[in-house]
Each structure stands twice: as C-alpha cells, then as structure tokens.
Amino acid sequence: MDPATLTAAALAAMIRARQLSAEEATRATLARIDRLNPGLNAIVQRRDEDALSEARALDTRIAKGEDPGPLAGVPVTVKVNIDQAGFATTNGLRIQQDLIAQEDSPPVANLRRAGAVIVGRTNTPAFSLRWFTRNSLHGSTKNPAFPALTPGGSSGGAASATAAGLGAIGHGTDIAGSIRYPAYACGIHGLRPGLGRVPAFNATAGDRLIGGQLMAVSGPLARSAADLRLGLTALSQPDKRDPWWTPAIPTPYAKRAALALTPDGLDTDPAIQDALTAAARSLEAAGWEIGTPALPPFREAMELQLTLWLSEFGLGGADAVAREADPDASFVHRELTKLAPAPTLESFMRALQSRARLARLWRGFFADWPVLLTPVSARLPFLDHYDTTSPQAFAEVIEAQMPQIAPPFMGLPGLTVTTGRIQTHPIGIQLLADRGREDILLDLADLLAPEILAVTP
C-alpha cells in the first residue's frame, strides 16, 4: 500500500488512530512527488523540510492526546496564486516571482489549522486566465490520466497533482470554471463554493476589485466525495480578513432535481448528454423527482461576467499582460476583448444592476428545484493548448464553457462530478445549487461521485 494514493478520509483516520504517522504519510507523498512530478510539472514550489517539520509536530500533538483536526496529517497542495508565508505568490508570472508572502492567506491558514500538511504549491496559467495550464515562469503542466488533453485551468496543477496522488486534496480557485474544469479534464471531482463560503485575502495584492470579490472563490479538488466534504470543512472556517464570509446554515430541502442537457441552446456532446441522463436516472432511483423546467438565463450571465472581468483588466491588468509578455496570456486577453465592448462606467453599473435580477431569478428557480444537473462543458476535454491555435478555436472553447462562466456571476456554488471515462476522455457533469447550499451538492456527490483511484502515469 502506498499511503500517498489513499483518500484524505482514509489517511486522516489512520493517522488519528496512530496506525500511520503524519511523517510517514508526508514522506510517502514527497517520494511520489519526486517520482512523478518531473513528468507532470503539477507542483512548482516545494519546501520538503517544512512539510516534514509540520508532520512531526502533528505526530507530537497526537501522541499527547490532542485533537489534530479534521485533516489530521493529510498531505495537500495549494495553488501558487494565494499567499503562503515565505513563498512567492507568482500566479504564474515572471513579474511576480519575487513577490514573497509574509503571512498565510485564509485558505492556507485554515488548512494548517485543520491539521493538513502542505507538500507543495501547484501551477496555474499566467494570470490564472485559461482553461489550460502553461506559463513562461513555471512551464506547462500535463494531465496524468490523459496526456494528450489539457489538465484544465486555471487550477490545472491542482487537478493534475490530486489525480496523480501528489496530495490527497488540492486547493484551487474558481472565477469562471477554474476548479470545475480541471477536475473534469483530469477525471476527478471539484467543488466551487458559493460567494462568501470560503474566506479569501492576499496581502501581497490587497483587496480585489468588485468583479473578483463577487466571483472568485477557493475550493477543494479531490478523488472522493468524502474528501470534498473534508476539504470544504477545513477551508470554510471564518477569518476576520474577509468581510464577505458568511456561515452556511443548512435547512431541509425537497428532493427535486432539474435536468438541462442543452442550456440556452448549448450544443452539448451526446456523450455528455448520456452522462447527465444516467445521473438523473440514478437520482430518480434514489427517490428524487427529476424535471426539465425552463431555466433562468445562462448566456446573459456569461456575457455580463465577461464585462466585469474585462472591466477589472482595464484597470492595470492590460498593462500587466503587456509587461509579462506571456504568449498565451497575450493571445487570450486579446481574444477576450473581442467578446465584449470596451467597458464604460455605464456598462459596468448596468452589469451590476443585472446581476441582482439574475440572482433573484436563479434564487427563485432553486426554491422550486434545489439542484440543477447540467454540463460542465459542451465538449469533452480539449486537446492541450487547443485554445491558442486560432481565434476560431478560442471562440469554440468559450462557447463550450458557458455553463462554467455563468454561475459565478450570481455567486452560485457548483460541483464537477466525474461519472466515468472512455478510452480517450473522462466523462463528467456539473451540479449547481443556490448560494449557501454546498450541502446539497455534497449530498448528491455521495450518490453520484465514485471514488477515483490515483493515477500513475
């Protein structure tokens, strides 16, 4: 048995019962990183002695009978776009390679308090701006299960590492699918919490502009539903640095799930439609009512999300793209600006005004149908770096990703569940719920999400 390939739930139970030490689990994971990461480039920052020191400290606490936390000694990874004291918060950028954090961000602090051992920091595209993972500072990350395909982005390093057993849980961030798509591409599971569920703040960058505040979140990627629960429990503890943080207060809900195979006319691949239909049948067999009601707008929400995103880049972001001169980021930024008119004060304010209307419509929808089954993407995971092969390819990718881009505009949580795989691709679906209802998504993960074995490329 390689401890590095166990789930977080199994590892935490063994370490708490002193059947395995936190140091042994950490050493096994570091050895697996040594063996597999050179071919994946999922983890791009390490400090092994710090990880081993944390693990030994946890073992001492356990020996004293102290509670080690829900992630007792579990090796995890965090993404290079959040602050971890002593490391550069690069966000995949050469212009930030010397931006050393002096304190842990809330997600990192919460993982430590939960007893996790951070074994490395994972790669992201430059500016965390793609569904593919490559940058001029750290290089390109590979998909361990499907080498020809993108590992996803922007949390492509997190998904690759988690799928390969280089950490039982991966921290990711998501503003337009950056947790959900990498989980989908690498054949694992990923939870995007809703607005305010997981506290966030990077002292190296200061407060984000309003688009980032409303739409960007941190969340877990994992190979089992139980590990998603553990990851969210750890990450979602309060932190006074985030004024958006709100506690979840679960309440009873009706077992009614809506099914949307082609939301807003999306041209969904038949294999994905089949996976969604099969998931609906599984829920029906478990006592859920399945319906196909009319949906609030997806496409309008996607277009307005891009307006907020581009407004943010208009205040310094475009200059940073030019200074970084990363070929992928320059291409993506140029193509994104074609999709929405140059933002004005009025268009920006109208976007925020429309957000209230759309959030109201979706809240009303979820009051009747507590969960929605829909594609993660209209297409099976793309070939690696397909988006930058041509403007036409980029437009195809954007259209396919509409189900990922739209929900963050309303602050909604979303869950990618990998339901199966064919020879060349993983197959997965997306579950959406109202703000504050991550509990519903996790309950459905218990029913629909198989435990995924760690991949050895």
Question: Which of 60-64, 293-297, 307-311 is predicted least confidently?
Answer: 307-311
Task: For residue 243, give both structure tokens.
Answer: 């004024």
Q: What band does 274 get if pLDDT is binned at 50, 70 and 90?
A: very high
pLDDT per position as a tens digit, 23-68: 999 999 999 999 999 999 999 999 999 999 999 999 999 999 999 9
Coil vs helix vs strand at 142:
coil
* Domains with residue ranges and CATH for the chain: 3-235 (3.90.1300.10), 256-448 (3.90.1300.10)
Contact 122, 44 (CB under 8 A): yes
Q: Which residues are designated catalytic?
A: 79, 154, 178
pLDDT score at 312: 77
Q: Which helix (H) or strand (E) holds 419?
A: strand 414-421
The whole-model pTM stands at 0.98
Percent of the chain with pLDDT strictly greater than 70: 100
CA angle 99–103–107, rounded 5-degree value: 100
Percent of the chain with pLDDT strictly greater than 90: 94
Q: What band does 444 get if pLDDT is binned at 50, 70 and 90?
A: very high
> Residue 257: which of 293, 233, 222, 230 has the closest Cα?
293
343 pLDDT higher than 90: no
Distance, CA of 229 to CA of 175 (rounded, Å): 21
Distance, CA of 416 to CA of 381 (rounded, Å): 13
Sign of the torsion formed by the C-alpha atoms of 102, 106, 112 and 117: negative
Distance, CA of 301 to CA of 181 (rounded, Å): 18
> Residue 429: which of 283, 284, 275 has the closest Cα?
275
Phi, psi of 446 (to 5 degrees): -60, -30
340 pLDDT higher than 80: no
pLDDT per position as a tens digit, 153-198: 999 999 999 999 999 999 999 999 999 999 999 999 999 999 999 9
